[in-house]
Structure 1
Amino acid sequence: MGNTDKFEMIANRYDTPERIQTAKISSNAIREYLAEPQNKNAIDFGCGTGLAGMELLHDFKSILFLDTSQNMIDQVRRKISDSNIQNADTLCFDLEKDSFSNLHADYIFMVQVLLHIDDVGLILSRLYDILNEKGHLLIVDFNKNEKIVSDMVHNGFDQMELANTMEKIGYRNIRSRTFHTESKIFMGNDASLFILDAGK
């Protein structure tokens, strides 16, 4: 996944009050789209230090925290161990480089992850393969922002364009909405977050 080296370096200081707050807002938005999740398995894709997934641990039967950065995964493992969490596991894996045929989940959620991914279509297709039938992919990310110019990340996404890309892959019943706006949240710029729910 893009920017792995950067995340390796900042893993031990990633959990700032701002990121913790954004993760809570994002996980609350995700929670609104869950149906009987207590019997379902989830993947926190591109989990970082697990800020969003940790907020949702009690909602699901189990959560797999997956990231390309070993240092980020080590932070998650420490949290799991320190809190004696029983329904979580971790995996360091780069889905952009390889597919994973043994991985399956009822829900996959990704919070501010897609903007770091070079080949968005490839990842969305591989996540579709991981989803169980009637499973759901939940994406939280920034709306497209023309003020952002970066060769490190996408400058957000147009919700309609993203939905069209996902429909071509096979996703169904796609719905999305903007749920949060905040100042200086995206590379020092004011920005808004959307949530998109797509079924298999």
Structure 2
Amino acid sequence: MGNTDKFEMIAHTYDTPERIQIAQASADALREYIVDAKSKKAMDFGCGTGLVGMNLIDGFDSMLFVDTSPSMVQQIEHKISDLHIHNAATLCFDIEKEELAGVHADYIFMAQVLLHIQDIELVLSRLYRVLNDGGHLLIIDFNKNENVVSDMVHNGFDQAKLTDMMTQIGYRHIQSKTFYNGSKLFMGQDASMFILDSHK
């Protein structure tokens, strides 16, 4: 998946106060869409150091933390061990290269992950197959931002266009809204973030 090399380098210093704050706000936004999940399996996809998933883990039967960066996965493994968490597992995997076979989840969330993915339709299609029937894919990412110019990441997303693409894949009951605004939030630019909920 995109930018793995970059994340390998910053894994040990990733948990800055700013990132922790945004992860907390993201987890709070996600909680609105998580219902009766104590018996459900969750996946924090593109988990990084697990900042979002660790905030939500108590609400699920189990959580799988998935990332392409071995160093990021190592960081989350340290947290799981240090906090004596028993309902979590990790997986270092690149879904852009192959299907995530034999793994299923009732809730998949991806926070600020989509902007790093080159072939968005491919990844969303593969995640659709990972979801159990009735499951949710929850996406948090940046709204389209013309002030961001980068060949490393997408400059955000148009919620309506993303909804159309996901509808074509098969996702249904899609709803989205902007929930967070911040200064110098995205590549040094003021930006806003949205949350999108979809069902299989």
Q: Does the pair score TM above 0.5? A: yes
Amino acid in the other structure paired with 2:53: G
Distance 2:177 2:39 in 1: 26
What is aligned with 2:100?
A: 100
Q: Deviations over 1:13-34 (max 9, x none)?
A: 0000000000000000000001
SS in 2 for 1:37: coil
SS in 1 for 2:156: coil
Amino acid in the other structure paired with 2:55: E
Q: Would you say 1:10 and 2:6 are equivalent positions?
A: no
Show the 5 A alignment for 1:18-167: 18-167=18-167
Question: TM-score under structure 1 normalisation?
Answer: 0.99
SS in 2 for 1:48: coil
Amino acid in the other structure paired with 1:100: L
What is aligned with 1:181?
A: 181
Distance 1:45 1:195 in 2: 15
Amino acid in the other structure paired with 2:147: K
Unaligned 5+ runs, structure 1: none
Distance 1:60 1:80 in 2: 15
Q: Identity, % of aligned pairs? A: 64
SS in 2 for 1:39: coil
Q: Deviations over 1:75-106 (max 9, x none)?
A: 00000000000010000000000002201000
Amino acid in the other structure paired with 2:192: S
Distance 1:101 1:180 in 2: 34
What is aligned with 1:169?
A: 169
Deviation at 1:35? 1.2
Distance 1:58 1:42 in 2: 11
Deviation at 1:39? 1.1
Q: Deviations over 1:148-190 (max 9, x none)?
A: 0000000000000000000000000000000010100001100
Alignment length, in residue pairs? Answer: 200
Distance 1:172 1:6 in 2: 34
Amino acid in the other structure paired with 2:188: G
Distance 2:110 2:86 in 1: 22
Amino acid in the other structure paired with 1:41: K
Distance 2:179 2:7 in 1: 26
Amino acid in the other structure paired with 1:123: V
Unaligned 5+ runs, structure 2: none
What is aligned with 1:196?
A: 196
Distance 1:35 1:127 in 2: 20
SS in 1 for 2:157: coil
